[in-house]
A and B are shown apart, each in its own frame.
Chain A
Amino acid sequence: MVNDQPTALERFINGILPENPTYRQLLGMCPTLAVTNGMQSAMTMAGATAFVLICANIVVSLIRNLLKPHLRILVYTLTIATFVTIADRVLAAYMYDMSKQLGPYIPLIIVNCIIVCRCEVCASSQAVHIAAADAVGQSLGFTLALASIATVREVLGAGTWFGIAVMPAGFPNWVLMVLPPGAFITLGLLLGLVNWLTALWTQGRKAKPTAA
């Protein structure tokens, strides 16, 4: 039974691309859409989510043998809420402007499905080091996804990347891209692109053995 569970390395790699939380599992959509109007806010959000995800996965994995099945979701949520409170207070103390700008989306990490999903799928059944590797992999995948969306939206919407001007001076800013509709459309198109590339890749893999 232990043997058919993925190992730490598999969990880590799966999180980044094959089971990318945003593009493949479609989890955690609220922060993905809401904070990607600039790279700085997107990366702060990714950092906060990574902190909560890693801590929650480790704690849930440590107490996994004490959990009663019917109370487990409640225990996950309370664990997550505790770490989110820590992250929220730290951000408010050291990055006050960013915490003001992110507003309710930091506390909304509590109901981010990625974290509950990882606690349920991995941490509640596997040892601490595997749960930690899984959390780091998933966080990296989430960071990559946020960075890709934020890059498209910030470069097209404000002509900057991390606040540094990258577009030529005469570039008309597509204001729509930093507004809510831009978020939906960018994510939809990127999702389509990822699906298309995956289809191409699997086709290529299938075609190769017959050619060789």
Chain B
Amino acid sequence: METIGSLILIAIGAALINNFVLHYFVGICPFIGVSRRVDMAFGMGCAVTFVISIAAFLSWTFTYFILRAGAPVTSWIWHVLRPDSELVPDLSILNYIVYIFVIASSVQLVEMYVRKFFPALYKSFGVFLPLITTNCAILFACLEIMKHVSGASDPSQVWGLDKALVLAIFGGLGFTLAIVMMAGIREELDQCDVPKALRGPAITLITAGILALAFLGFSGVDRGLAALFQ
């Protein structure tokens, strides 16, 4: 019960309370750039959710087994090389380089795979895939996972793969929700008479501010839920 409770908390936290776009401001570029039509926004959201899950899986694996201080694989190699050494190997200085490499190559792989085996799917969201490499939402999810794996002070607090995947998938769903809502509003906004200076990105940002205001209403839900699960 306790583990399921904490998973639900992470899921709701990532999707609603601390929505990636409206609370952490990551993934703003596609949020403004690709939110003109609902179907395109939905395609972008799906692509991001897909890539974010793969990147989270890979980055958790790398962080847990290789990069963090005292990680199993690195320690084993170090012991084979220097059996009498007391040093705990710590490769966390390579974190960022490894993450960006993982993201770039997984995007490339996903693109090739989808183009070969699901041409219809590729037609609907393939154009967004290269853009995703520089989408901060993906790197942000990797960094959050890193914070809870190599940054955890207490060994019992280290996140398992389940928590990492839940954070990534629901973070992606939260992104999809935000970008689809935004696209719906912008389709209506096209009918309106917006002052000339505010047209384009400016009015989009102000609308996003009002959306963020609505999402602010979710704050505190996590504390109530945490009390419920205890």
Neighbour of B104 across the interface among A77, A184, A192, CB < 8 A: A77
Across-interface contacts of A157 in B (CB, < 8 A) = none
Whether, in the assembled complex, B41 has its beta carbon less than 8 Å from a beta carbon of chain A, the answer is no
Least Cβ–Cβ distance between A110 and chain B, in angstroms: 6
List A residues 186-212 near B (Cβ within 8 Å).
187-189, 191-193, 195-196, 199
- Give the CA-CA distance A193 to B139 in the complex, in Å: 32
Interface centre among B26, B147, B216, by most chain A C-beta atoms within 10 angstroms, is B26
List A residues 13-71 near B (Cβ within 8 Å).
26-27, 29-30, 33-34
Whether, in the assembled complex, A144 has its beta carbon less than 8 Å from a beta carbon of chain B, the answer is no
Take A26-B32, A77-B100 as given contacts and tell me if A192 and B202 are in contact as well, using a CB distance cutoff of 8 Å: yes
Whether, in the assembled complex, A6 has its beta carbon less than 8 Å from a beta carbon of chain B, the answer is no
**Pair A188/B206 contact, Cβ less than 8 Å:** yes
Whether, in the assembled complex, A172 has its beta carbon less than 8 Å from a beta carbon of chain B, the answer is no
- Give the CA-CA distance A87 to B147 in the complex, in Å: 18
Across-interface contacts of A184 in B (CB, < 8 A) = 205-206, 208-209, 212
Whether, in the assembled complex, A89 has its beta carbon less than 8 Å from a beta carbon of chain B, the answer is yes
Across-interface contacts of B203 in A (CB, < 8 A) = 188, 192
Across-interface contacts of A33 in B (CB, < 8 A) = 25, 28
**Pair B212/A111 contact, Cβ less than 8 Å:** no
Across-interface contacts of B198 in A (CB, < 8 A) = 188, 191-192, 195
Interface centre among A26, A85, A188, by most chain B C-beta atoms within 10 angstroms, is A188
**Pair A30/B96 contact, Cβ less than 8 Å:** no
Whether, in the assembled complex, B120 has its beta carbon less than 8 Å from a beta carbon of chain A, the answer is no
**Pair B136/A195 contact, Cβ less than 8 Å:** no
Across-interface contacts of B104 in A (CB, < 8 A) = 73-74, 77
Query: Interface on A for B, CB 8 Å cutoff?
Result: 26-27, 29-30, 33-34, 73-74, 77-78, 81-82, 84-85, 88-89, 104, 107-108, 110-113, 116, 176, 179-185, 187-189, 191-193, 195-196, 199
**Pair A81/B97 contact, Cβ less than 8 Å:** yes
Least Cβ–Cβ distance between A184 and chain B, in angstroms: 3
**Pair B32/A180 contact, Cβ less than 8 Å:** no
Binary interface encoding of chain B residues 35-63 relative to chain A, with 1 for a CB under 8 A from any of its CBs, else 0: 00000000000000000000000000000
Across-interface contacts of A108 in B (CB, < 8 A) = 26, 136, 139-140, 143
Take A74-B104, A78-B100 as given contacts and tell me if A34 and B32 are in contact as well, using a CB distance cutoff of 8 Å: no
Interface residue SS majority, chain B? helix
Interface centre among A88, A104, A112, A187, by most chain B C-beta atoms within 10 angstroms, is A104
Report the count of interface residues on B (CB-CB < 8 A). Answer: 41
Across-interface contacts of B96 in A (CB, < 8 A) = 81, 84-85, 88, 107, 110
Whether, in the assembled complex, B4 has its beta carbon less than 8 Å from a beta carbon of chain A, the answer is no
Across-interface contacts of B205 in A (CB, < 8 A) = 184-185, 187-188, 191
* 9 A-B contact pairs sorted by A residue (CB < 8 Å): A81-B100, A107-B139, A110-B139, A180-B22, A180-B25, A188-B204, A191-B198, A191-B205, A195-B196
Q: Which residue of B lies closest to A84 (CB)?
A: B96
Interface centre among B27, B32, B205, by most chain A C-beta atoms within 10 angstroms, is B205
- Give the CA-CA distance A192 to B203 in the complex, in Å: 8
Across-interface contacts of B76 in A (CB, < 8 A) = none
Least Cβ–Cβ distance between B62 and chain A, in angstroms: 14
Whether, in the assembled complex, B229 has its beta carbon less than 8 Å from a beta carbon of chain A, the answer is no
Whether, in the assembled complex, B101 has its beta carbon less than 8 Å from a beta carbon of chain A, the answer is yes
List B residues 128-180 near A (Cβ within 8 Å).
133-136, 139-140, 143-144, 147
What are the 6 A-B residue pairs with the smallest beta carbon separation, nearest first?
A: A184-B209, A188-B205, A188-B206, A185-B209, A196-B197, A29-B28
Binary interface encoding of chain B residues 172-195 relative to chain A, with 1 for a CB under 8 A from any of its CBs, else 0: 000000000000000000000001
Whether, in the assembled complex, B23 has its beta carbon less than 8 Å from a beta carbon of chain A, the answer is yes
Across-interface contacts of B147 in A (CB, < 8 A) = 104
- Give the CA-CA distance A184 to B214 in the complex, in Å: 13
**Pair B206/A185 contact, Cβ less than 8 Å:** yes
**Pair B143/A104 contact, Cβ less than 8 Å:** yes
Neighbour of A180 across the interface among B23, B144, B197, B206, CB < 8 A: B23
Whether, in the assembled complex, B83 has its beta carbon less than 8 Å from a beta carbon of chain A, the answer is no
